[in-house]
Structure 1
Amino acid sequence: MRLLKQLVPVALVAFVGGAIVGAVQGNAVLTLVLGVATAVLAVFVYAWAVRWSEGRAPVEVAGKGAFAAAFRGLLIGAGMFAAVIANIAFLGYYRVDGLGSVTGAVGLLGFMAAAAVTEELLFRGILFRIVEGWIGTWLSLTLTGLVFGLMHLTNPHADLWGAIAIAIEAGGMLAAAYAATRTLWVPIGLHFGWNFAAAGIFSTEVSGNGATQGLLQGVTSGPALLTGGGFGPEASPYAVVFGLVLTVVFMWLARRRGNVVPLRRRAGATLAR
């Protein structure tokens, strides 16, 4: 019941807000404003739902330290994607043909903000956190990561490998980031940094959703096995390897900080879980 009390209102904001933002994508300023508004509203609705259903302060989205935590995540996410692109470019399968579109990048700021915030609230803030209290950190990370990956099968150009790659490099890694920090701002920043670097800077496909026009005029070619093909670099083995490495690092930090919930630990035994 607690799961549904949180999932339904946040999912409603994500669905309605996402539809509105998608409808105005031709207007960069409107996309930016409405995307940020959707992200902010989703955080407030999540905080309200946690207070209502759990009777506690939603410390995982506390305002104090939010900017610094999100910025750290952003640097990690953008850096990770840059490393993936650098490896693909080293093989000669990605090149920059010039400058892209500033207005396109502005619109993508809003679109990716809405996507990153709503997805992290739903998958890490609600699903992972609550399920973790039932079955422990490791099983929850595996299960919710798999669900996150399979959800991407509905995207254009999606296939089973793309879904598996997303499950590993994003679903697992982002849950591990939350487990290590016990704040949603780090995975939100990481998610946004990865997505915006992919679309808003390097102009690559993001989860098979079609070509984007960001700050650079990027061209990807070569074998799909290495570049990710129509699904984008998220289906590249480089992305999977880097995601796995970061997952291991975050889970090492979680263990060191005593944040790993064992299988039989109750959900209410620790704060913000």
Structure 2
Amino acid sequence: MHKRLAIQLIAALLLSGGVWAEGAKPAALLNNFAWRHQADWFGGYSGIHIFDGGTRMIALSDRATMLDARIDRNEDEITGIEIQRHWPILSSTGKVLVGTAGDSEGLAIAPDGGVYISFEGVHRVAYYSDPTGPAQVLPRPKAFEVLDHNGSFEALAIDRLGRLYTLTEKSRTVSGDIPVYRWDGLSWSTPFVLPQRGKFLPVAADFGPDGRFYVLERSVSLTGFRSQLRRWELNGDTPQSEEILLQTARGTHDNLEGLSVWRDDQGRLRVTMISDDNFLALQRTELVEYLLPD
């Protein structure tokens, strides 16, 4: 997160309120857990993956750090989080990523257990067969070179066929739509676009266990953060049946940037989102969970 945006976020936090947005909200809030830790590397979380059952997670910081943690629960409430280990994200040469090159944003877990990470700043996606090992950077087409410097690949998702989907936070098509890029293991393509809705910008994506494509979006202003969650059914390369599952008022949650959709032990469809505190004392790291309609 760049200094200019950080200043805007501080102003938003100082002026934020807590009024709920009007209109239907098919997603039902389950819990909101404020997560605190004293380590200087803790914070800036922009990616999350919840493993089935909801007791384990991997979280990604936008300062090239990952962690593996256990989640303690009492029914629908998160009661605690215990970090099992953390490690730095490496370059393809095995060096610790720093600065712009280490602006790690999106997270997707491959079927083989490997990890894909999308990066802003230097626009790219990398694969880690061992999450603690060196990167294998995927090819970068020319289309990536002209993307907004601080507004590219915050979102990353993987479908049941192992294909990656990433979409830009700010860069748009000439008609104003959100381009979606797909990696099929051989090359990148743009199979479809998504419509822009208001001032919300995409910051995370996931394919749920229901096979639908979910996108978390954020809006920030001087009166606080807002979050929007949308989903689509994909019929081939055509997104259909768009639904707005959640749209919050300013100040309802912090800066939600990570998204994981999963089923609990009761078979219910749930979403866990994590906030990026930008390493600012005025913000907080929180895990927010909602129950979703099937």
TM above 0.5, yes or no, is no
> Per residue, is there more strand in 1 or in 2?
2
TM-score normalised by the chain length of structure 2: 0.25
- Which structure would you say has the larger RCO, counting Cα contacts within 8 Å and 6 or more residues apart? 1
TM-score normalised by the chain length of structure 1: 0.27
> Per residue, is there more helix in 1 or in 2?
1
